[in-house]
Amino acid sequence: MRILLVGASGTLGTALHSELVERKHDVVTVSRTSGDLRYDVSDPAQVAEMYRTAGPFDAVASAAGHIPFGPVSELTVDDYQAAMTGKVLPQILLVREGLAHVTDSFTLITGMLAREAVPGGAAAALANGALEGWVRTAAVEIAPKRVNAISPTVFTESLDAYGDFFPGLKPVPLAEVTRAYVRSIEGRQTGQVYVP
Ligand SMILES: NC(=O)c1ccc[n+]([C@@H]2O[C@H](COP(=O)([O-])OP(=O)(O)OC[C@H]3O[C@@H](n4cnc5c(N)ncnc54)[C@H](OP(=O)(O)O)[C@@H]3O)[C@@H](O)[C@H]2O)c1
């Protein structure tokens, strides 16, 4: 399949790129600062141009997103807006703008803070929960095109960076997270939230 991989230079994106290439997919990488293509997917005009220039694709896999962490008493309106513009709206745009350029599926990244309370993770809970709800409804509307979300806990490989936020929680190796993407991309299900 010809797959657009968004956020291919990140911790998750690097592992996902290797897995998809190993499975003989033709992968086109994009991020703001590296990859085959350079686009900021939080900008609707750039997303539209990206698809016009580089499409069509069989599938889109998103491994991008940034969310501020902090206590509820300190998170500002700007922080919550940053969670929306950093993670939610870019992935919605990838689907909305991609409908005319993607033949089969979209796989988005959310995270376990959609369902587990972790102090400091309120903005992430908002973003991940919003996306997972959106995916279920969007799947019904865009069929036979498909959309799924991958909702992992903290990656084993990210414990040094984020482990202090998740005391006692079992991390997930990136190999299991990338397997969930393969299930979404190569399988036939839609409207799913996969928890690797
Ligand atoms: N790390 C974890 O343990 C964990 C656990 C569960 C869920 N997640 C989720 O997984 C996703 C990836 O996490 P990660 O730790 O791999 O992040 P990361 O290492 O910071 O990588 C993020 C990637 O996305 C790209 N990117 C970010 N904003 C972009 C934009 N507006 N347009 C285009 N590309 C953009 C970055 O490249 P540029 O900076 O060059 O644009 C980079 O390639 C995030 O949504 C995160 O919330 C992470």
Distance CA 135, CA 190 (A): 9
Walk me through the domains of the chain, giving residue ranges and CATH numbers. 2-194 (3.40.50.720)
Please say if the pLDDT value at position 164 is more than 90: no
Residue 163 is predicted with a pLDDT of: 86
Please say if the pLDDT value at position 192 is more than 90: yes
Give nearest CA residue, ligand 1 atom 18: 10
Residue 55 is predicted with a pLDDT of: 93
Residue 145 is predicted with a pLDDT of: 98
**Burial, 115: exposed, middle or buried (Cβ in 10 Å; 0-12, 13-18, 19+)?**
middle
Summarize the confidence of residues 58-77 as an average pLDDT: 97
CA 162 to ligand 1: nearest atom: 3
Residue 165 is predicted with a pLDDT of: 87
Summarize the confidence of residues 146-156 as an average pLDDT: 97
Please say if the pLDDT value at position 160 is more than 90: yes
**C-alpha distances in Å from residue 83, one per residue of 26, 47, 66, 101, 121:** 31, 18, 7, 27, 11
What digits encode the pLDDT tens for the residues 129-149?
999 999 999 999 999 999 999
Decide whether any atom of ligand 1 lies within 6 Å of the 154 Cβ.
yes
Please say if the pLDDT value at position 48 is more than 90: yes
Decide whether any atom of ligand 1 lies within 6 Å of the 149 Cβ.
no
Distance CA 46, CA 135 (A): 22
Tell me, in angstroms, the distance from the centre of ligand 1 to residue 6's CA: 9
Give me 82's structure tokens. Answer: 């940053």
What digits encode the pLDDT tens for the residues 69-119?
999 999 999 999 999 999 999 999 999 999 999 999 999 999 999 999 999
